[in-house]
Structure 1
Amino acid sequence: MKTLLKVMLTIAAIFASTFILGRVLGILTENNVREWLELASTLSVLTVAAVVIGLLAIDLFVAVPTLTIVIVGSYFLGFEWGFSAAMAGSALAAFGGYAICSRWGESALSRVIRDKKQRSEMRDAFTAHGPGMIMLARAAPILPEVTACMAGMTKMPLARFAMFWLIGTLPYMSIAAYAGSVSTLDDPRPAIFAALGLYAVMWAGWFFYRKWWMKGGARLLV
């Protein structure tokens, strides 16, 4: 388990460095995102959708404010288009990370963890605990990309990864998109309540999952 955490923290540190760099340079901030989406809305619905998809897709390489993108994008697009664009962009990031790490993750992993036995133990640990991590990954920034990379690196079957990713992502994106679609500049409360509620529910999920995990319940997901 320690090896698994070490690898995940290493990947998280790489993603976190892009987040910090973006903030230092003043790019991909919440204000930037709002400005770009507002500009795109003056052009066409398809332009807004493309910007939402593009921003969420590059989350694999540069950390972006995902919830803000989905909520503001859905404000301009409406629920159906907003939800579709959010799922498409998130899928590109998730399955892109899975594919890249499935192809090149083993060589990178061997540099971080040189002991073959430890790498095998890490894979076993992710097989047992990875499903829960993937489903609850939206509780924190960076974690969705980390779990996607881990799934590819440990050769989790694609269909299995897709199932757990959908379980965790569909409700999150649908609530965020709906909140954005019913919010207005005069009444942003739905978006605010949705953001607070989503994080509260996801963190509560982590709390109860951890208790279940400590009792050995995570083995049921293997």
Structure 2
Amino acid sequence: MRLLLWFIAVSALVIAVWLLWGGHWEQHFTLTGAAEWMKQAGPWAWAAGMGLLAADLVLPIPGTVVMSALGLVYGALLGGFFAAAGSILAGLCGYGLGRLIGEKAARKLLGDRDFERGRLLFSRGGGWVVALSRAIPILPEALSCTAGLVRMPFHRFLAALACGSIPVGFLFAWIGAVGRDAPGWAIAFSIGVPALLWLGARRIKWD
């Protein structure tokens, strides 16, 4: 029960940030607006884009728009690489934030019973939700923080994170590179391909 309350609280915090400042940020982070902002960093535009994706953990930044802007600036391949790397960086930041809460404090926060349930849940099935959530608003931030809090094995988390981030990053970079809005099948692709990748990755013997 406490684990569910933690997840709801983190999600509510993300939603609250969007409600307070989301409208302001969305005015500036159109595809062309984000691309122009990144270009101001000159040769470090890629780092600015990755920084924006990482900042999505605490700021209402539309990640898929930033990924598309990276594609507009660098093209589908290089932009896709930076977009995927930025998404992975964002996930690692969330995981690290959860791990900053020591295990003793995490057990006190969740209770021993919910902590063990959460660790078991994320150790067994957490890879699916991490991989499938990368293009969905709010969920990636909450899931990454929760995975870190309950000590999901880092190698499994990183593998699932990569399975979700790489296809999503390249997809939206391609969308930006060809200068079009996200087609209707983009969400299906963003869920289906990570699912297939994780289906293969989970067969690896991690331990």
**TM-score scaled by structure 1?**
0.75
Query: What CA distance in whole angstroms lies between the structure 1 residues aligned with 2:34 and 2:117?
Result: 45
Residues 71, 176 of structure 1: 8 Å contact kept: yes
Query: What CA distance in whole angstroms lies between the structure 2 residues aligned with 1:101 and 1:38?
Result: 33
Q: Does 1:143 align with 2:139?
A: yes
Query: What CA distance in whole angstroms lies between the structure 2 residues aligned with 1:137 and 1:85?
Result: 19
Counterpart of 1:212?
none
Residues 88, 165 of structure 2: 8 Å contact kept: no
Counterpart of 1:41?
39
Counterpart of 1:9?
8
Paired letter, 1:27: H
Residues 49, 81 of structure 1: 8 Å contact kept: no
Counterpart of 2:186?
198
Residues 84, 167 of structure 2: 8 Å contact kept: no
Query: What CA distance in whole angstroms lies between the structure 2 residues aligned with 1:37 and 1:132?
Result: 32
Deviation at 1:32, TM superposition (A): 0.6
Query: What CA distance in whole angstroms lies between the structure 2 residues aligned with 1:169 and 1:43?
Result: 24
Partner SS for 1:100:
helix
**CA separation of 1:86 and 1:201: change in aligned 2, threshold 3 A:** closer
Q: Return 5+ residue gaps in structure 1 as ranges.
A: 207-217
Counterpart of 2:94?
97
How many residues are matched? 196
Paired letter, 1:168: G
Counterpart of 1:87?
84
Q: Does 1:68 align with 2:62?
A: no
Deviation at 1:78, TM superposition (A): 1.0
Query: What CA distance in whole angstroms lies between the structure 2 residues aligned with 1:155 and 1:79?
Result: 35
**TM-score scaled by structure 2?**
0.80
Select 1:110's aligned residue among 108, 113, 130: 108
What value does the CA root-mean-square deviation take over the aligned residues? Answer: 2.9
**CA separation of 1:56 and 1:28: change in aligned 2, threshold 3 A:** same
User: Which stretch of structure 1 is more off in the superposition, 197-206 or 48-57?
Assistant: 197-206
Deviation at 1:75, TM superposition (A): 1.2
Partner SS for 1:80:
helix
Query: What CA distance in whole angstroms lies between the structure 2 residues aligned with 1:39 and 1:61?
Result: 19
Bigger helix share:
1
Counterpart of 2:197?
none
Counterpart of 1:211?
none
Counterpart of 1:170?
166
User: Which stretch of structure 1 is more off in the superposition, 53-62 or 3-12?
Assistant: 3-12
Residues 38, 48 of structure 2: 8 Å contact kept: yes
**CA separation of 1:126 and 1:51: change in aligned 2, threshold 3 A:** same
